[in-house]
Chain A
C-alpha cells in the first residue's frame, strides 16, 4: 500500500547485507511493498526512516491490538474491499458481553463457557476472543469488582464499557497492563478519554450517533495524537450497520480517509431479541467488515457456525488450506476396515471424511501431502504420482493397522492404478468413485 517497491528501495541502506533474510535490498523492498516482509527485519534502517516508510506503507485500515501475550487480538490491517482482490487479514473478534447487573453465578457460568469454547480446524484455533464488560448498574464498585473477576478468570482481551469516564478510568488504570479497549470516546468527552487512553497506551473506541459525527470525533482524536482507535458509528439496525460498515471501509481504502482508517466495533447483541437472529446479523458483520463483534451470549450452536463463516471469509484465496499428512481414523475402525487415500487440500479432506462418516462404514483415510492441491491438480503437478503414493503408504504405518491389502484410490486417478500396483506389489488397488458424494454407496457394497 502507498509506496511502491522502488520508492521503498530508495530509502533503504542499499548495503545488500542480507541480514533481513533476502539477498538484496531491492528484493527486500519488493517484499515490503507486497506485505510479505516486515520492516523490522532490516537492522540498519534509522528510526526516522523506519517511521516514514512504516507510515507510508501502512495498510489503509490501521492494525489495532487489543489484549496481550498469547491472547492479543489483532484487528484491521485490511487492504481490500473484496477477498478475491487479495485477502482479508484479521478475522473479527467475537466478544462476550457481560453486564455488572447480571448476578454472579450467571457471570461465572458464561465466563466458563467462554473459556472452554475453543475449536481446532485444519490446525487453526477458533474461539471467541474478547470479553466486554458493561457498566449498567450505576454502581462503580460493582463494575470494578466484575472487571477484577473477569481479569482473574480469563486471559482474554477486554473491552471496558462505561459511560462514566471517572469510573472507567479508575478501573482501566487497574488493568491497563491487559491493554483493554476503552469504550468509548464521544463528541462530549473525547478530550478526557483521548488523553486518558494516551496515558495508559490503551486502544480507544469512538462512539458517535452517525457517520459524520464519527468522522469528526475520530479526526479530533487523531489530531491529539491517538493512534489506536476502534470505530462505532452508532448504527443499531442491520441495514444501517451494513451501510456504515461499507462506507467506513470504502472511505479508508478508496479515499484514504484517516478518520475512517480503523477497525470497527459492532453490536449484534443490541440489534436482535434472540440469539438466532443475533447470529444472522453477526454473520453479516463477519462478511462485511465488522471488527469487534459483541454477542449477548456464547453458545456452541451459534458461535461455531459464526467461526466457520469467519474462517471461510478470511481464508487466503491465494493459498489453499491443507491438512496434515497422516492416517485419519473415521469411526470405530478395526483391522478389516477399508483404506482410502486422497490429497491434503482441506476441502478434499472435509468432503471425503464427511462422506465416509455419513456412510457409517468405519474407514481409514490416508491423507497424502499434495501441498494443498486437489487430487487432479496434484496428479498433474506430480504430487500424486504412483511412486510417491507408494512411499507414503509404506511409511504411513497402515500395514500394521489392517490385515487386508486393499487400497481405494480416487476415481479420477484410475490411470495410476497399474503403476501403483507395481509400486505396491502386496496391495490390490481399487478404483473408488469420482465424486465424494458417491462414497457412502460405494463403501456400503465394498467387500474387504
Chain B
C-alpha cells in the first residue's frame, strides 16, 4: 500500500478585509485552508499583530509588562509612536479602558479626543476597543467613529446590545466593526447576520469570538475558533467567512501566574520570561486555531510570535 497525503477539500474562503486608511491599508484574511495548512491551500496574508496602547496610565501592571513602555506610559500618542518606531508595530490597538464606569469613567468626548490624537499620529491601522460596558461603549464608540471619519478604524467590541447604534455610526463614517460574542459559534454567526441586515458591508466585519488566557479558559476560545474556521472553509457558512481577532494581552497579563515572583513560587521559574511565554503561548494557540489579528502587549512575546509565524509560513 502506497502512502498518500490525505488532503481536505476546502469549499470556502475567508474574506479579504483591508484595514486602515487608503494608501496605507493592511489586509487580513483570504485563507483558503486552515491556519498554516499550506500544503493544501493558501494564506495570502500573514496574521498580524496589533500592539496595545492604553488611553491613560495603567494601574496594576506587572513590571515585566511595564518596563518596555515606562517612558511613554502616560502619553498614548508617544506610546503608539514607540510601538511603531521602536518595535515595528503593524497595527495599534487603543484600549479605552478608562471609559469604564467602574474605573475612571472618562467621558465619550474625552475618549474621542484621545483617539483622534492617536489616529492622527499613526499611519498603521488603528483598532479602538471600548470597555465592554454596552451602554458606555455605544456612547464612546459613536463619538470615536465621528471624529475619526474616513480613517477606517477597527471599532469594537460591537455586541448584540449595541450593534445598531455603533454599526450605523461605522457605516456613516466608514469604519470596520469587531463583532464580539461570548464563545459561541451560533451567536457569532447571528451577530454577523444582524450586521449584514443593518447594511454593514461584508468587507467591514471582523469576528471576535472572545479570548481567555492560557490556563484561564483558552480551550473554549481555541475550539470556537476552530469551529468557526471549519464552518467557513468546509461547510460554506458564508456568515462566518470573516477574519478573526483575538484581544488576548489584557487577559494574559491580569492572571496570577504572570505576577507571582520566583521567590514566592520557585517552581514557576523566572518571572519576566514566564510572563512573556504566557502571552506568546496564548497567541500561538489562537494563531493555530485561526486568529488573523492578535492584540498583544510585550515586545519580546510579539517577537517570538512573529518568528513563529514566519517559520510556519516560510519554513525558514
| Residues of chain A whose beta carbon lies under 8 Å from any beta carbon of chain B | 82-84, 116-119, 121, 211-212, 215-216, 219, 237-240, 242-243, 246-247, 250-251, 254-255, 257, 259-260, 276-277, 279-281, 283-284, 287-288, 299-306, 308-309, 311-313, 315, 317, 347, 350-351, 353-355, 357-358, 433, 437-438, 440-441
For A276, what are the chain B residues with a Cβ–Cβ distance below 8 Å? 273, 276-277, 280, 300, 304
- B257 interface residue per 8 A CB criterion: yes
- Which residues, 269 to 316 on B, are CB-close (under 8 Å) to A? 269-271, 273-274, 276-278, 280-281, 284-285, 288-289, 300, 304-305, 307-308, 311-316
- B136 interface residue per 8 A CB criterion: no
For A354, what are the chain B residues with a Cβ–Cβ distance below 8 Å? 216, 254-256
Known: A301-B277, A441-B102, A441-B103. A313 touches B215 (CB 8 A): no
**Nearest CB in chain A to that of B307: its residue:** A277
Proximity bits, B188-216, A CB within 8 Å = 1, else 0: 00000000000000000000000010111
Proximity bits, B30-70, A CB within 8 Å = 1, else 0: 00000011110000000000000000000010000000000
Number of B residues near A (Cβ < 8 Å) is 59
For B300, what are the chain A residues with a Cβ–Cβ distance below 8 Å? 276
Q: Which of A239, A305, A311 contacts B314, CB < 8 Å?
A: A239
Q: Which of B1, B267, B289, B313 contacts A239, CB < 8 Å?
A: B313
Proximity bits, B213-232, A CB within 8 Å = 1, else 0: 01111111011001100100
> In whole angstroms, how far apart are the Cα atoms of A251 and B230 in the complex?
19
Interface pair B277/A279, CB less than 8 Å apart:
yes
Known: A212-B3, A305-B274, A350-B215. A284 touches B307 (CB 8 A): no
A to B CB contacts below 8 Å, 20 in the list: A83-B226, A247-B5, A251-B3, A276-B273, A279-B277, A284-B284, A287-B222, A299-B270, A301-B268, A301-B271, A301-B277, A302-B273, A304-B267, A311-B215, A312-B214, A350-B215, A351-B216, A357-B256, A358-B254, A440-B60
Query: Could you list 12 further interchain pairs (A-B, Cβ under 8 angstroms) beyond the known A300-B268, A306-B281?
Result: A118-B267, A121-B215, A238-B312, A239-B312, A239-B313, A250-B6, A257-B3, A300-B267, A308-B214, A354-B254, A358-B60, A438-B102
Q: Which of B223, B256, B274 contacts A300, CB < 8 Å?
A: B274
**Nearest CB in chain A to that of B252: its residue:** A305
For B255, what are the chain A residues with a Cβ–Cβ distance below 8 Å? 354
Tell me the smallest distance from the CB of A234 to a CB of chain B, in Å. Answer: 14
> In whole angstroms, how far apart are the Cα atoms of A82 and B234 in the complex?
14
> In whole angstroms, how far apart are the Cα atoms of A15 and B101 in the complex?
68
Q: Which of A302, A313, A347 contacts B277, CB < 8 Å?
A: A302
For A355, what are the chain B residues with a Cβ–Cβ distance below 8 Å? 254
Interface pair B259/A305, CB less than 8 Å apart:
no
> In whole angstroms, how far apart are the Cα atoms of A251 and B5 in the complex?
7
Q: Is the interface of B mostly helix, strand, loop or mixed?
A: helix
For A347, what are the chain B residues with a Cβ–Cβ distance below 8 Å? 212, 216-217, 220
> In whole angstroms, how far apart are the Cα atoms of A82 and B185 in the complex?
15
- B23 interface residue per 8 A CB criterion: no
Interface pair B214/A301, CB less than 8 Å apart:
no
Tell me the smallest distance from the CB of A245 to a CB of chain B, in Å. Answer: 11
For A260, what are the chain B residues with a Cβ–Cβ distance below 8 Å? 3
For B271, what are the chain A residues with a Cβ–Cβ distance below 8 Å? 301
Tell me the smallest distance from the CB of A120 to a CB of chain B, in Å. Answer: 10
**Nearest CB in chain A to that of B185: its residue:** A84
Instruction: Name, among B271, B281, B315, the residue most crowded by chain A CB atoms within 10 Å (CB to CB).
Output: B281
> In whole angstroms, how far apart are the Cα atoms of A313 and B276 in the complex?
20
Interface pair A116/B267, CB less than 8 Å apart:
yes
Interface pair A301/B274, CB less than 8 Å apart:
yes
Interface pair B6/A312, CB less than 8 Å apart:
no
> In whole angstroms, how far apart are the Cα atoms of A353 and B38 in the complex?
42
> In whole angstroms, how far apart are the Cα atoms of A288 and B222 in the complex?
12
**Nearest CB in chain B to that of A246: its residue:** B37
Interface pair B304/A277, CB less than 8 Å apart:
yes
Interface pair A280/B308, CB less than 8 Å apart:
yes
Interface pair A84/B223, CB less than 8 Å apart:
yes
Interface pair B273/A247, CB less than 8 Å apart:
no
For A440, what are the chain B residues with a Cβ–Cβ distance below 8 Å? 60
For A287, what are the chain B residues with a Cβ–Cβ distance below 8 Å? 222, 284-285, 288-289
Q: Which of A240, A299, A313 contacts B222, CB < 8 Å?
A: A313
Instruction: Name, among A216, A219, A242, A305, the residue most crowded by chain B CB atoms within 10 Å (CB to CB).
Output: A305
- B4 interface residue per 8 A CB criterion: yes
> In whole angstroms, how far apart are the Cα atoms of A355 and B269 in the complex?
22
Q: Which of B103, B217, B256, B280 contacts A358, CB < 8 Å?
A: B256
**Nearest CB in chain B to that of A351: its residue:** B216
**Nearest CB in chain A to that of B269: its residue:** A300
For A280, what are the chain B residues with a Cβ–Cβ distance below 8 Å? 280-281, 284, 304-305, 307-308
> In whole angstroms, how far apart are the Cα atoms of A242 and B312 in the complex?
8
> In whole angstroms, how far apart are the Cα atoms of A288 and B6 in the complex?
16
**Nearest CB in chain A to that of B5: its residue:** A247
